Structure 1
Amino acid sequence: MTPAVLAVDQGTSGTKALVVCPERGVLGTGSAAVRPRYLPGGRVEADPRELHESVVAAGRAALADAGAAAGSVAAVGLANQGETVLAWDPATGEPLTDALVWQDRRAEPLCAELAEYSEELLKLTGLPLDPYFAAPKMAWIRRHLTREGVVTTTDAWLVHRLTGAFVTDASTAGRTQLLDLDSLSWSDAALDVFGLLGERLPLIVDADAPVGTTTAFGPPLPLTGLLVDQQAALLAQRVTEPGTAKCTYGTGAFLLAQTGPLPRRSTSGLVSCVAWRLGGRTSYCLDGQVYTAASAVRWLTDLGVLPGGAADLDVVGESVPDSGGVTFVPALAGLAAPWWRGDLRGSLTGLGLDTGPGHLVRALCEGLAAQVAELADAAAGDLGRPLEVLRADGGLTRSALLMQTQADLLQLPVEVSALPDVTALGVAAAAQMGLDPGLRTADAVPRIGPSAVYEPRITAAEAAERRGRFRTAVEKLLDRAPVAGAPVGGAPVAGAPVAGASLDGAPPDGARPDRARLDGAGAAG
C-alpha cells in the first residue's frame, strides 16, 4: 500500500494541512489562522514567525486528526503563497523584515521607474512588470529596509527553518520575475534590472526533489514535495493536458490553463509561467489573476452587508432575483490580468434608493465571475481553441450563487471539486513522487470527483449583455487619469533607474550605472 504523506498549504489568511494517501484519500486535516495586516497605501504585511508557527500547528493537527488511520506518514510536502517575500538571516534563520504579501503594492513607484524594461522582462520571464510579483518587492526591501541577510520568497525561508536547506522549486522561482522562462535558471539580466545582481539566491529544484529532513511535526520526516499554491491546485485538479483549465477562488481568484512542455508567451495579457518540474520534466501554463475574491467578500462583511461572512453569500444574494442594475468592479486592490492596472480601484454603479444588501452581493458575484470569464477568454485566445469546462476549487466554491453565476457568464460547465481546498492535494502528489520516482502523476493524485457541476441557465445573449455592462464599467475606470508614478498597462513610464541604488540613493561599490539589455544576456546558475 502506498504510504501517506503530510501536505501543508501555507496561504494568505491561513495554513491548511492534510494527511493524504493516493489510495485511501484524505485521512486527517488541520488548520491554523494567519492574520495579514492591511495597511494604508496598499501595504499588506504578515509576521513571518506566525507563518512558520501556522505551518507547524496545522501539520501537527492533521497528524493528530489522522491518528492510527494514517499508519506511518512517510514524507512532507509544502505549498506556498508564491509572491510573498522577506529578508532573513541564513546563519540563524531569523527574519529581518516582515513578509510583504503578494497583494502588497508599495513597489509601484519602483516598477514605474523600470517601465522601459517591461517588454524585455516579459519576453525573458513571461511576467509583466507589476508589484504583484516577487522581484519588485525584493528590490523594495533592499532599497528601503535592509541589505543584510538574503531576500527570498517565503518558501525558501520556511524550508530553511524546517530542514536547513536553501532551495526553491521551479514553479515558485517562476513567480519572482528573476527566472529565465526557457532555461529555468536565475537570470543575471533580470537581477541586474532590479538591482539584485550578486544576491545569494536559493537552488532551484524539482517539485518532487527530496531536500532535507524535518522534526517540526514529531518524528524525522523527509521533505520531498515543493510547489507554489496555484500550480499545486492545477496538479490536484488533474489539469495536465494542454487546453484544460482550473480556477481557484480564495483570497484572490486564479485561473490557470495548461500549455504543455513548452512555454507559450501570452498575447492576451496573461502570465506565462512554469506549472511544475517533476522528475526533470517541465510543464508550463498560462495564469490569470483576480486580486480580490474572498478579500472582497470580507470587505462586504466588514461593511455589515454579510453578517455571517462568506457563509451568507447565498442567503443574502438569493433574497433578490438579480443585481437590480448594480454593477460592481471589485478591483479593491487594482485590476490584474488582462488589464494590469494596479493603480485602479473598484467601482459600484447603478445604485438607487431601492438598492439592498442582496443586490450588492449579486453584483459582487457577477463582478468576480465576469473577471474570471475575461481570463478564460484570454486563455482560449492564447491556446487557439475554446475551453470546454472550468474546474473550480477554493473556499468560495461553497457558494452555489457564485458558481452558477460563473457558469452563466462563461457559458460553460463549471465542475466544483468535492474538496474545496485542493492545493494541499497537489503538493501531496509531488511529495509522493519524491518518495517514489517511478510513480506516475495520475497515480499520485487521489481521485476526488466534482461535488457539483453547474451548467449555464441563461442564454448566450443574456450572458453577453451582462458581461458587456461589466466591460463598460471597467472601461470607465481605465479612462480615468492614472495615479502619479504608477505604470499604465505595461506602457513605458519615464523615470530614473533603480538598479544598484543604495538606501541613501548612492550606487554601492561595483554597481553598474547602466544596465545591460536583456536580449542575449547570461543567466546565473
Structure 2
Amino acid sequence: MGERILVLDAGTTSTRAMLFGADGALHHMAQRELTQHYPKPGWVEHDADEIWRRTLACAQDVVAKAGGPGAVAAIGIANQRETVVAWDRNSGEPLARAIVWQDRRTAPLCAELKAAGHEDALHRRTGLVLDPYFSATKMRWLLDNEAAVRAAAERRALALGTVESWLVFKLSGGAFVSDASNASRTLLLPLEGAQFDPGLCALFGVPPAALAEVVDTHGMLARTSGDILGASIPICGLAGDQQAATVGQGCLAPGETKATYGTGAFVLTNQGDAVPRSTHRLLGTVLTQRDGKRRFALEGAVFVAGSLVQWLRDSLGLIGSAAETEALARSIPDSGEVTIVPALSGLGAPHWRAEARGVIAGLSFSSGRAQIARAALEAMAHQTHDLADAFAADGAPWQSLRIDGGMSANDWMAQDLADMLDIEVERPDFVETTAFGAAMLAAVGARLHPSLEDAVGAMRGKVRRFEPSLAPERRAERLVRWRKALAAV
C-alpha cells in the first residue's frame, strides 16, 4: 500500500481529484466543470450522474498519473454541503436532478414552519435555522413533486443523501453512509444525537428509511469496489467542504477561526467539545467526529461571494476574468460611494432573509466598471464584518482570521478584510484548504498520522499575513453606507 491520499473535492461549480503526500505535497490534480441548471428564478440544480461521472473521471486520471492504485493509501472526500441527491438504492440511478444548496424553492415551506413556531426548537436541537439552504425541506420537495422519488419511497428503495453519501454509494457499490459534519447540515440530526432523529424526520415528512447511517468524519468508513479504480481502496475521510477547510487551516483549538471565500463565504470558529448555542442567528455545526466523539463549530454562512464576481463577468460582461477585479480596485481611490448588497440568492447569516434580492446603491454618472468591481470586493468585507459582530455578541470574538478559497488569492481583498475587521488576516500559500483538510482527515483515518494536530503540523505550509492599516473614520464611513444599502434590502 502506498502513502498518498486521493482527495475527491466535489464543489459547486467543478469537481476535482487531487493526490497529496503525507507531508502535504500536492502531486497530481484533475478538474472538470459541473453544469449549473437554473430552471426557474431561485432554483439551482445539478445532474447527480454528471457529478459522479466527472468525479470518477478525475479520480481515474489522477490514479493513472500516480502509477496505479497501489500508490494510494486512502481516499478523502470533501463536498458541497446541503445539496440533496435522490436515487434508487437498487439500481443506483438518480431519480431527479439534485437540488443545490443555493436553491430557494422551499422558502414557502420554511415560512409555514416558522409561522407554526418550530424554528426556536429546531435551532436549539440542530444548531440550524429554518431556511431553504438546509437539506430537509429539499428532501420534502422532492417527495412532493417528483413522482419517481415518491414511488421509490413507497417501495422502500429510496435513498436521500448529500453529495458525499452519493459518491461513497457509487464508489463502494452500495455503502450508504453520511458523515456527521454533513449530516449536521440537514435539520434532521440533533447536535447531541448519534443518528438522524425520527421526530425531526416526521416534522419534515422525510422517511427515516431513506436516510443513511451517520458515521465519523475520519476512520475506516468504507472501501471502493475493486473495479472502480483498479483495486479496493479504503475511504478514510469525509467532511463537508467548510468543515474540511477549517481542518485544513489548522483551526483545531477553541476560538480559532477561518473564512472560505468561494462561491459563497463561510466562517467557522472552533468551539471544541462545547455544543454551540447562538442567540444572534449563527449556526451550530459538527466540525469533526472520531469514535463518536464530536468537535463543534459556530458558523456564519454568506450565500454570495465569488458568485458575485462570476455574475459581473458572465451576466453583465463588466469584466473578462475574476483576476481583473484586483487591478480595477487598485485603479481608483474608493468606490465612489457605490455599494453592493449581493443578495442574489437571499441573505444568509446573520440576517436570514430568503426573500431579499441584490442591490447596487450609490450609482452616479461617474460610476463605471472600476467602481462596481471595487464595490463587489468591498462587499466581502462588509458581509464578513456583520458576521464578526454576531460572533462577538455570541461570546466568540475573532482574534485573527485565516482565509482561503479562490477569492482569497486577491491581495487587495485580503488587505481590505484586515482593514475593515481591524484584525490580522492570515492566508496560506496553498489556498485550496478544503481538499487539504480532506487529505488530513483521510491521513489520520488511515493512520498515516496519529492525530489531526500531527497532520496539521506535518502538512500545513507557509502563510502570509495582512495587518490592518485603514483609518477608523474611513472604516466607519463605509459601514454607514453598507448599513444604509442593507436597510434598502
TM-score, L = length of structure 1: 0.87
- Give the aligned partner of residue 104 of structure 2: 105
- What is the CA–CA distance in structure 1 between the aligned matches of 2:337 and 2:357, rounded to whole Å? 20
- Give the aligned partner of residue 119 of structure 1: 120
Task: Kindly indicate whether the alpha-carbon contact (under 8 Å) linking 2:443 and 2:449 is maintained by their aligned counterparts in 1.
Answer: no
- Give the aligned partner of residue 498 of structure 1: none
- Give the aligned partner of residue 4 of structure 2: 4
Task: Kindly indicate whether the alpha-carbon contact (under 8 Å) linking 1:239 and 1:245 is maintained by their aligned counterparts in 2.
Answer: yes
After superposition, residues 32-51 of structure 1 pair within 5 angstroms as 32-51=32-51
Q: Which amino acid aligns with 1:78?
A: I
User: Do the aligned partners of residues 277 and 451 (structure 1) sit closer, same or farther apart at CA in structure 2, a change above 3 Å counting?
Assistant: same
Aligned to 1:166, which of 149, 160, 176? 176
Q: Residue 277 in 1 paired to residue 294 in 2?
A: no
- What is the CA–CA distance in structure 1 between the aligned matches of 2:70 and 2:334, rounded to whole Å? 51
- What is the CA–CA distance in structure 2 between the aligned matches of 1:379 and 1:71, rounded to whole Å? 46
Q: Which amino acid aligns with 1:204?
A: V
Q: Which amino acid aligns with 2:326?
A: D
- Give the aligned partner of residue 26 of structure 1: 26
- Give the aligned partner of residue 141 of structure 1: 142
Task: Kindly indicate whether the alpha-carbon contact (under 8 Å) linking 1:2 and 1:23 is maintained by their aligned counterparts in 2.
Answer: no
How far does the alpha carbon of each residue in 1:63-91 deviate from its partner, in whole angstroms, 9 at most, with x for none? 344459x9721111111111000210001
Q: Which amino acid aligns with 1:14?
A: S
- Give the aligned partner of residue 265 of structure 2: 253
After superposition, residues 76-115 of structure 1 pair within 5 angstroms as 76-115=75-114
Structure 1: gaps spanning 5 or more residues: 478-525
Task: Kindly indicate whether the alpha-carbon contact (under 8 Å) linking 2:223 and 2:235 is maintained by their aligned counterparts in 1.
Answer: yes
- Cα deviation for residue 8 of structure 1 reads 1.0
Aligned to 1:364, which of 366, 371, 376? 376
User: Do the aligned partners of residues 23 and 438 (structure 1) sit closer, same or farther apart at CA in structure 2, a change above 3 Å counting?
Assistant: closer
Greater shift, 457-466 or 435-444, is seen at: 435-444
Matched residue SS, 2:242: helix
- Cα deviation for residue 386 of structure 1 reads 2.7
Aligned to 1:153, which of 134, 151, 162? 162
- Give the aligned partner of residue 391 of structure 2: 379
How far does the alpha carbon of each residue in 1:274-313 deviate from its partner, in whole angstroms, 9 at most, with x for none? 0110243210001111111111111100245543321211
Aligned to 1:456, which of 456, 464, 468? 468
Identity of aligned residues (%): 40
- What is the CA–CA distance in structure 2 between the aligned matches of 1:199 and 1:403, rounded to whole Å? 46
- What is the CA–CA distance in structure 2 between the aligned matches of 1:464 and 1:99, rounded to whole Å? 43
- Give the aligned partner of residue 317 of structure 1: 329
- What is the CA–CA distance in structure 1 between the aligned matches of 2:306 and 2:192, rounded to whole Å? 34
- Give the aligned partner of residue 54 of structure 2: 54
Matched residue SS, 1:420: coil
User: Do the aligned partners of residues 133 and 267 (structure 1) sit closer, same or farther apart at CA in structure 2, a change above 3 Å counting?
Assistant: same
- What is the CA–CA distance in structure 1 between the aligned matches of 2:22 and 2:479, rounded to whole Å? 40
User: Do the aligned partners of residues 65 and 320 (structure 1) sit closer, same or farther apart at CA in structure 2, a change above 3 Å counting?
Assistant: farther
Larger relative helix fraction: 2
After superposition, residues 175-214 of structure 1 pair within 5 angstroms as 175-214=185-224
Task: Kindly indicate whether the alpha-carbon contact (under 8 Å) linking 1:29 and 1:66 is maintained by their aligned counterparts in 2.
Answer: no
Structure 2: gaps spanning 5 or more residues: 153-157
- Cα deviation for residue 442 of structure 1 reads 1.7
How far does the alpha carbon of each residue in 1:141-199 deviate from its partner, in whole angstroms, 9 at most, with x for none? 11111312222212212111110200000000000000011123211221111011444
Aligned to 2:245, which of 225, 233, 246? 233
- What is the CA–CA distance in structure 1 between the aligned matches of 2:29 and 2:167, rounded to whole Å? 20
The higher-RCO structure (CA 8 Å, 6+ apart) is 1
- Give the aligned partner of residue 491 of structure 1: none
Matched residue SS, 1:42: coil
Q: Which amino acid aligns with 1:166?
A: F
- What is the CA–CA distance in structure 1 between the aligned matches of 2:222 and 2:41, rounded to whole Å? 39
- Give the aligned partner of residue 419 of structure 2: 408
Say what the alpha-carbon RMSD is for the aligned residues: 1.9
Matched residue SS, 2:301: strand
- What is the CA–CA distance in structure 1 between the aligned matches of 2:247 and 2:202, rounded to whole Å? 33
Task: Kindly indicate whether the alpha-carbon contact (under 8 Å) linking 1:418 and 1:448 is maintained by their aligned counterparts in 2.
Answer: no
- What is the CA–CA distance in structure 1 between the aligned matches of 2:66 and 2:259, rounded to whole Å? 29
Task: Kindly indicate whether the alpha-carbon contact (under 8 Å) linking 1:2 and 1:21 is maintained by their aligned counterparts in 2.
Answer: no
- Cα deviation for residue 239 of structure 1 reads 0.4
Q: Residue 352 in 1 paired to residue 364 in 2?
A: yes
Matched residue SS, 2:210: coil
- What is the CA–CA distance in structure 1 between the aligned matches of 2:44 and 2:488, rounded to whole Å? 27
TM-score, L = length of structure 2: 0.93
- What is the CA–CA distance in structure 2 between the aligned matches of 1:49 and 1:92, rounded to whole Å? 13
Matched residue SS, 2:119: helix
- What is the CA–CA distance in structure 2 between the aligned matches of 1:289 and 1:24, rounded to whole Å? 28
Matched residue SS, 1:453: strand
